Amino acid sequence: AQTVTQSQPEMSVQEAETVTLSCTYDTSESNYYLFWYKQPPSRQMILVIRQEAYKQQNATENRFSVNFQKAAKSFSLKISDSQLGDTAMYFCAFSFGNEKLTFGTGTRLTIIP
């Protein structure tokens, strides 16, 4: 079975700084998808970024980027120029595409004004 581990239960950073959230996963398969979802206080789950395992290039979405290390099974999220609206729970997740997501336990990120 696939597992996703987020080792940082909570993090905080000053506004405008850069923060990196860690995620490791375990699978014996070679083709899969990795995601970061954000859950703000409204509790709406919002897709932040996705990565296809067969792509070597790291995904980027504006201030959000990932460091995907397939051999190490690591998928960290970097948030640049952090903003107050980035305060949320962040979940790392894994799937085989058209199948269920396996979530990590989440990292609670607080951006300090």
Q: Which of these segments, 17-25, 46-54, 57-65, 73-81, binds another protein (CB under 8 A)?
A: 46-54
Cβ(85)–Cβ(16) under 8 Å? no
- Asked whether position 2 contacts another protein by CB under 8 A, the answer is no
Closest-CA residue to 23 (of 14, 31, 34): 34
Scanning residues 83 to 102, which ones bind another protein (CB under 8 A)?
91, 95, 97-98, 100-101
Look up residue 72 and give its DSSP letter. Answer: T
25 binds another protein (CB under 8 A): no
Q: How far apart are CA 12 and CA 9, in angstroms?
A: 11
Q: How many CB atoms lie within 10 A of CB 82?
A: 19
14 makes contact with another protein (CB under 8 A):
no
Name the residues that contact another protein, by CB under 8 A: 33, 35, 37, 42-47, 50, 91, 95, 97-98, 100-101, 103-106
